[in-house]
Amino acid sequence: MSLIPMRPILDATDTYSYAQGAFNVNAVAQAQAVIEIHNLFRSPAILQGADLANGFMGGRKDFQNATVEDKKLGALNIARAVKQFAKDVPIPVALHLDHGRNLDSVKAAIDGGYTSVMIDGSSLPLEDNIALTREVVRYAHPLGVTVEGELGVLAGVEDHVFSETSTYTNPLTAIRFLKATKVDALAISYGTQHGANKGKNPKIRKEIAIAIKECMRHEGIQGVLVSHGSSTVPQNVVEAINKLGGDIQDAGGISIEQLVEVSHLGIGKINVDTDIRLAVTRNIREYFLEDTARQQEPSVKGVWDLLSANPKFFDPRQYMTPLMDTMMYGTLPSEAVAELMERVKRGVKEAVGTLIVQFGSVDKASKVRMRSLEEMADYYKQEGI
């Protein structure tokens, strides 16, 4: 099945009161694993490539300094992989840009084959955020592409997104933002945080989501609320990494109980990245320590050298750089590389499969009203958005 816009997948969450996990990928093998596990559970799938993930997948090892040209190539590579694996499954699949920084990043993603984009103007003054987000909507909607905006600032660190403190989303301002921008989805700040260090027992302020959703219903505004920074950071995985030579301290996530609760209170999309990074890192460490001879295998030695020298690393982009062709194109030059990527896929499936079940998207693929980019473009034109 070809990729579809994210909007129809989100509409189903609104109709049937569940949440759709949205999972970040940074490698061909990760994209394959995310699609396969969703297909197993007959769930719709939202794969996300962060703005800087596009830079990494464009061959930029120092992805924090990725250029627009790097991102264009990376977007093509991610989209090519997602399309390759999506065409053989019957479930709806969308590819979404996470934390687009500006219109150039958005254009790079759409040109590469993304069917949905997020523009993150949350750090800007309100009027500037509205203007930037509306500019992206005007560009994307005529192409049928879904748009997500963000209002309020999350604490924590993820790629280029950083803030020490949170600014909660004001429900009344959210309604103004939704009316002015015409976005399909709105990421809100209500107690979640980016990264693996979310503090001790972080609490979601569910009343913010409830208030915004109720105001949306009152005003007749269609759209879905999004929860960023929502990884659960499983402690058993963190402990396993540390026992295997890692050094991840003070790690904590959002409890699954809170995420399940808000999935019935207006939150239709829940973003997860850190859980995948952790599960993959644990599996990679296990691979090298189960048989220490693997540490000297020429085709994968560089991965182990980086990982062992940097015990705090848990983002695969930090230590998988010796295998850039494998990450970008899925090439498997040796049996050892093939084995290593199988460990990657297992980690992805473990993290993602658990949350598909918890969030309630099992067997919801049939609930999605399939609409192509062209059909969504016609819809936006008719609605004047």
Mind telling me the catalytic residues? 98
Is residue 179 a contact partner of residue 151, using CB atoms and an 8 Å limit?
A: no
- How far does the chain reach from its first CA to its final CA, in angstroms? 27
35-38, long-range: CB within 8 Å, 24+ apart, which pairs? 35/82, 35/85, 35/86, 35/89, 35/91, 35/93, 36/85, 36/89, 36/345, 36/349, 37/348, 37/349, 37/352, 37/353, 37/356, 38/89, 38/91, 38/93, 38/352, 38/356
Task: Find out whether 370 and 4 touch, Cβ atoms under 8 Å.
Answer: yes
Residue 356 near residue 365 (C-beta atoms within 8 A) = no
Q: Cβ distance 226 to 188 under 8 Å?
A: yes
CB neighbours of residue 355 within 10 Å: 23
Cα Dmax for the chain: 64
Instruction: Provide the CB-side half-sphere exposure for 262 (13 A, CA).
Output: 32
Radius of gyration of the chain (CA): 20
Q: Record the tokens describing residue 186, joined without a space.
A: 């709105």
> What is the rounded distance in angstroms from the CA atom of residue 278 to the CA atom of residue 113?
28
Strands 161-163 and 155-158: antiparallel
Q: How far apart are CA 350 and CA 280, in angstroms?
A: 9
Residue with tokens 């030695």: 301
Cβ atoms 356, 18 nearer than 8 A: no
